[in-house]
Amino acid sequence: MWQFRKILLPFSWLYGWVIRLRHLLYDKGFIKAKSYSIPIICIGNLSVGGTGKTPMTEYFINLLKTDFNIAVLSRGYKRKSKGFLLADQRTTVEMLGDEPFQYYTKFKGVHVAVDADRQHGIETLQKLCNPDCVILDDAFQHRKVVAGMNILLTTYNDLYVDDLLLPAGNLRDVVNRADNADVIVVTKCPEKLSKEDKDLVTKRIGLCQHQKIYFSKIVYSTLIYSERERHSLAFLKGNTFTLVTGIANPQPLTSYLESLGLVFEHIDYPDHHHFSEKEISILKERSLILTTEKDYVRLKGRVDNLFFLPIHNEFLFEEGGDFDHEVLNYIKKA
């Protein structure tokens, strides 16, 4: 693998030069970025995916939705629509994109919109919804908007400091862009991460003076859900089932299910995959399908005997209270 990466390194250097030039143009003011009077929270990463951004965004929604009128703005990756779109009862997953559609269907009363132009998206939300706060989903690499709070995610087993730029690696932005983060969250940590390992990762990342770091894990639900049913995970032990995933990194999920002693067939599709009719016909032949919540919104109504396994983000070392306080304090002072 490293030999193959070495072949691609010149292309990574060229890509890095283009990215650095773009940042320089913003830093020198040749390209203008815009600030806003309302709190803007940006959640993102430096890599192409798989850092746990969706459960982190949902963590923010759960934290803020009771006390604030919040809006979530996403690009709507691979959606079949253009421009600004505010989700309503007529909106489909194809129009909105899988992650925004998941937020919309899961959190009633939260405004969910998509727009590749983040400035236009924020300004349109202000006119239509007058939100107290806007959560920018997957926008860390975008410079057109100056967010008041930047949250950078990196996975425990694939830290951005150990990666390379595309195409030799998985980074879509240069490593020193991490200096722009106010908070770094190390996601998908082991269940029993030691204080020593935490300190080693913190040292490896090398925080700036203004930054704070937190550690979190993915927690799997003890229940699986369909449109009308729910069962404990133990239900799967007595059934032959197929795991269907269209996410960036399904390995943690497959490892978790295997640790429970479950035996299954795994059909793995690319991230944000649009299922063709031929693929749906193949899946219809399976007697029982388990999938992720993000894939469920794309498969719901097209496949029978379909269940999903919810996940959520949880902070380690009892850091959740400090994290929540920091976020709420920013919003109240903004």
Find out whether 65 is annotated in a ligand binding site: no
Give the integer Cα–Cα distance in Å for 321 and 231: 31
Q: Which residues pair with 65 in a beta bridge?
A: none
Query: CB–CB of 137/77 below 8 Å?
Result: no
Find out whether 47 is annotated in a ligand binding site: yes
- Backbone φ and ψ for 124, nearest 5 degrees, come out as -70, -40
Find out whether 155 is annotated in a ligand binding site: no
Sequence-distant (6+) residues with CB within 8 A of 140 are 42, 43, 44, 45, 46, 150, 152, 173, 177, 180, 181
> Please, what sign has the CA dihedral across residues 190, 192, 194, 198?
positive
Query: CB–CB of 73/84 below 8 Å?
Result: no
Find out whether 51 is annotated in a ligand binding site: yes
Find out whether 52 is annotated in a ligand binding site: yes
Find out whether 238 is annotated in a ligand binding site: no
From the list 212, 72, 218, the residue with the least C-alpha distance to 136 is 72
Find out whether 92 is annotated in a ligand binding site: no
Find out whether 49 is annotated in a ligand binding site: yes
- Binding region for ATP: 47-54
Residues belonging to the binding site are: 47-54
